[in-house]
Structure 1
């Protein structure tokens, strides 16, 4: 064999080995999950069960908040990006468009159950009945006064309504990257502003930044700890955390409705929302654990009314909705922009 042929054969062999190595590198055994702090306890349970009962390694899961998780998920289709993102609200159309622009073009949306947003406090106090309008007036950056919008002057809850506690307005809540924050702004702030014509046709969702609202980060357990230490404050977090800490916290009624599983699943509780996870289908072939994990998550053992996750505070979907979610996983249904509009 002459030198040119030898060189060609050697180059081909090197390229073949490199290609095989690249293909091997493109296969990742460990699933990567990011997203909502509210969904995190449920997903963590499935993660541990998945690692313990299958031949796949235990997935890596991070609590980044819904918005933060979707941002990471949408960075691109590369194997260095997340495979799954959890969300305590539905993906926004703008987020979906960002995914598409970055090459994440095949996404399956899976609804897992319901949750309510609780406004809770230490059980050292008597339970407080609140309306969304009262919460709005306590937390809005600007409120109506004498026909004008002014910086929020209210210092105590009793300044808003004499029937409310004579306590300073202190509310520990999630940051702007959180799905709970998004849902709170829509379901409480926007709804609470509807009776005030001065805000126009669009709901007002700006939260005051003078210390009445205290950004407590993505870890809802930290809010629980703060309420146990500061018994005059309120906290905003997912209902599951209230249920888990029922020995030390009590939830406020909102518009006369108590936060409990029946009221949340029926839609009677006005601050109820759906929870989701999203699958990056472009990773399915190279991350073989992804769909077995999703199937375990949506199994009756996990998400039925008598499953493990409702025991942790998840509000189960009705039978037909659970089946629709399972079909979405089984058929790898592709989310479309029109679904979000």
Structure 2
């Protein structure tokens, strides 16, 4: 009897250590796998049988996925902001390229040339060359202003196009999370922790967090619900698709809505939030600033012209 107990204990120990070595090998093999979380084996003593008081060796009690949910929450929260700022930075870099400052043909330069032409004309109003220079400089200012305004309109259109791609990716990731939810529920029902499947799902959630502000809720059976703007994007194994609807009142740009009922999705951050902010707020504000500047120049020039006198007196 004692020999049998000893042999069984030795076999259990070998099997447990083999599983521990398998976990180590799995960790090493996936050291460069995106989203992989280290796995750790938990061992536990086997209780003694009968009244002998002697234990029966060791068993594997479970496999732990080494992952900190609090850190995940913090990373995803910061990912919302990072995605937002990156989308804005991409659009603003195009604005910077359009303005091309400092340069010889930028707005600042042509405005300088315009005012210099007026100064030269004030010093020699009788010279036709000076008058022609003012007209030409004014036409150049108008051309550059129109070019810049069109560039910002084009950048808004580019943001709208990128919005289509980003929302499409959100829907695909939502389907991926729902599919992984189904598989995780099935695997965990067998007693397996489904660690690798959960890693894949977390990787999808990390990317979703870059695209939009979201909130997640994990349930006892292992599935995760994903909420955007207070409504479920993923609920168990089902998804609520986001749709893009053309808005004629906003230059035929897209509105972001829930496909099920057409209610607007209030996305405030992430790449989608940044694109919406650039398209509908930042870039129109810059266009308005440009228009206000040109309008003020026109007003001032017209006032100066009205206060002057003709060449013949």
Q: Which TM-score bucket, shorter chain as reference?
A: under 0.3
Larger relative contact order, structure 1 or 2 (CA cutoff 8 Å, min sep 6): 1
**What's the TM-score, normalizing by structure 2?**
0.23
| Higher fraction of strand | 1
Structure whose alpha-carbon radius of gyration is higher: 2
| Higher fraction of helix | 2
**What's the TM-score, normalizing by structure 1?**
0.22
